Amino acid sequence: MVALTQESLGNFLSVTPLQPLDIGVLAGAVMVSWLAAEVIALLLRRNRADSRGVK
C-alpha cells in the first residue's frame, strides 16, 4: 500500500530516484542557502531593533 502510494506520487510529481552523491550536493546547497538567509535575518533584525528604539 505504502509502496503503491509512493509510486503513484512519484509518477504524479515526475521524479526519479537520487544517488548518494546527489544527496550530498543537495545537503550542501540547502546548508549554504539557509546560512545566508540566517545572516540576512540577523543583520536586518539588529538594524530594526535599533531603529525602533529598544530599551
Cell numbers for 2: 505504502
Q: Which of 36, 37, 35, 33 is nearest to 25 (CA)?
A: 33
Which CB atom, from 1 or from 16, has the smaller least distance to other proteins? 16
Using left for φ > 0, alpha for ψ between -120 and 50, and beta otherwise, residue 14 falls in left
Q: Say how far residue 16 (Cα) sits from the centre of its chain.
A: 19
Per rule CB under 8 A, count of chain residues that contact other proteins = 36
Each residue 1-40 as x (binds other proteins by CB under 8 A) or -, in order, gives -----xx-xxxxxxxxxxx--x--xx--xx-xxx-xxx-x
Nearest distance, CB of residue 5 and other proteins, angstroms? 9
Minimum Å distance from CB 35 to other proteins?
9
